[in-house]
């Protein structure tokens, strides 16, 4: 069980060090905290009632060691807690069940006044909430509930001396300059695996060297340099790729989302909602700067990446950052880093609300 750390708990720690903001509404925060703790205690009571063996851990302390011999992960909090837990389920073998511990009520959804606390989680990734906790948990424990596979983003970053595979992203990635006021410069294109002869797959172009006992005439056939056959060639995990449809971009960064995340930040940035069962990815270039006399300059600002297609980004700013499913998990970029993006990450097994795809 992965349990959210509430804002009340976080600000209480800051208050103990004299660092809490003065304008905090402690009454509201405490009310939210009490609702969350009630949900957690009720969940533990239900699991004890059904003789379920479990361990619980705070969201910020979650580690892979907590997943040994685990059949199910329950995330109690909201969408953010589900996303954090999903990052540790990178093999896609353990199902995830989300519980919204402090849901928005139906009355609050319909009101237009500022009395609504808009910071409550919408629970889009949660199967049920504290309002129907026992019914939902019991259904899952005894083999019920709707379990689906959700596509995730695989992201590999290649630096000068290293290649890093990031955790799978369930919602989206934002690749941008760490400063929102700075320009994000990058070149993007599509990757296609190069079908080159074996002697060239080690990165050496031109004539293959003669083996002992061979004369020059007996060497393997001459192959022209890779650059003569393809445009720009790069490698990930030793595999050569040709980069096509290149586009140099000056912008505020780029959003890349799954179908699951297409109704979150992606839609707010101007993207298209997608069918949740889709395995395609979508990207949106943020605030793309193009010349006024270039009417087609923004034609590729928002596009879908079909299954099997891979997006390549070469980072051309001094600094950059990849934000994975929000602001909590990041990876820094520097000039010259290359990023490969596709939907080949193991899908997540997620319990969803009835009626969802």
Q: Which helix (H) or strand (E) holds 7?
A: helix 7-16
Q: Give how far the C-alpha of residue 233 lies from the chain's centroid of Cα atoms, to the nearest Å.
A: 27
Q: Which residue has the higher pLDDT, 242 or 232?
A: 242
Q: Which residue has the higher pLDDT, 14 or 355?
A: 14
- What share of the chain has pLDDT > 90, as a percent? 78
Residue 39 in contact with residue 1, Cβ under 8 Å? no
Using only C-alpha atoms, the chain has a radius of gyration, in whole angstroms, of 25
Q: Which helix (H) or strand (E) holds 241?
A: strand 239-251
Give the pLDDT confidence of 137-154 residue by residue, as tens digits.
Answer: 999 999 999 999 999 999
Instruction: Say whether pLDDT at 204 is over 50.
Output: no
Among 347, 333, 158, residue whose Cα is nearest residue 239: 158
Among 107, 95, 103, residue whose Cα is nearest residue 123: 103
Q: Around 23, how many Cα atoms within 13 Å sit in the side-chain half-sphere?
A: 0
DSSP states along 109-136: HH--STTS-TTS---TT-SEEGGGHHHH
DSSP state of 40: H
46 pLDDT tier (thresholds 50, 70, 90): very high
What is the bridge-based pairing of β-strands 302-305 and 163-165?
unpaired
Q: Around 4, how many Cα atoms within 13 Å sit in the side-chain half-sphere?
A: 28
Q: Which helix (H) or strand (E) holds 17?
A: none
Residues 6+ away with beta carbon under 8 Å from 27: none
pLDDT at 354: 87
- N-term to C-term CA, the chain: 25
What is the Cα–Cα distance from 249 to 136, expressed in whole angstroms?
47
Measure Cα distances from 201 to 163, 173, 208, 233, 273 in Å: 18, 31, 11, 11, 40
348 pLDDT tier (thresholds 50, 70, 90): very high
191: its two tokens: 């990757």
pLDDT at 269: 96
Q: Which residue has the higher pLDDT, 340 or 121?
A: 340
180 pLDDT tier (thresholds 50, 70, 90): very high
Measure Cα distances from 109 to 31, 98, 238, 265 in Å: 19, 21, 52, 20
Neighbours of 21 (CB within 10 A): 8
pLDDT at 121: 76
- Choose the weakest-confidence range: 29-33, 210-214, 270-274: 210-214
What does pTM read for this prediction?
0.86
> DSSP 3-state assignment of 284?
strand
Give the pLDDT confidence of 243-266 residue by residue, as tens digits.
Answer: 999 999 999 999 999 999 999 999
């Amino acid at each position: 069980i992965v349990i959210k750390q509430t804002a009340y708990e976080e600000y209480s720690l800051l208050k103990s060090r004299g660092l809490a903001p003065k304008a905090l509404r402690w009454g509201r925060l405490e009310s939210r905290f009490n609702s969350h703790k009630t949900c957690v205690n009720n969940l533990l009571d239900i699991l004890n009632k059904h003789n379920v063996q479990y361990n619980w851990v705070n969201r910020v302390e979650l580690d892979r060691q907590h997943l040994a011999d685990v059949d199910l992960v329950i995330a109690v909090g909201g969408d953010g807690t589900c996303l954090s837990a999903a990052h540790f389920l990178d093999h896609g073998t353990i199902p995830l069940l989300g519980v919204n511990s402090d849901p928005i009520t139906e009355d609050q959804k319909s009101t237009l006044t500022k009395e609504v606390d808009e910071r409550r989680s919408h629970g889009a990734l949660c199967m049920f909430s504290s309002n129907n906790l026992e019914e939902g948990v019991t259904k899952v424990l005894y083999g019920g509930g709707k379990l689906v596979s959700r596509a995730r983003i695989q992201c590999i970053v290649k630096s000068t001396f290293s290649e890093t595979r990031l955790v799978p992203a369930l919602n989206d990635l934002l690749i941008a300059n760490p400063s929102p006021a700075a320009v994000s410069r990058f070149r993007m294109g599509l990757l296609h695996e190069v079908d080159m002869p074996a002697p060239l797959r080690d990165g050496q172009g031109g004539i293959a060297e003669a083996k002992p006992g061979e004369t020059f005439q007996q060497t393997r056939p001459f192959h022209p340099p890779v650059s003569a056959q393809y445009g720009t060639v790069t490698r990930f995990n030793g595999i050569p790729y040709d980069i096509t449809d290149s586009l140099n971009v000056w912008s505020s960064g780029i959003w890349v989302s799954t179908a699951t995340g297409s109704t979150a930040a992606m839609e707010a940035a101007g993207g298209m909602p997608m069918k949740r069962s889709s395995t395609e990815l979508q990207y949106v270039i943020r605030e793309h700067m193009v010349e006024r006399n270039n009417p087609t300059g923004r034609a590729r600002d928002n596009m879908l990446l079909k299954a099997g297609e891979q997006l390549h980004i070469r980072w051309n700013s001094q600094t950059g950052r990849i934000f994975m499913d929000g602001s909590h998990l990041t990876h820094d970029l520097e000039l010259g880093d290359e990023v490969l993006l596709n939907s080949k990450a193991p899908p997540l097994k997620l319990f969803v609300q009835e009626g969802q795809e």
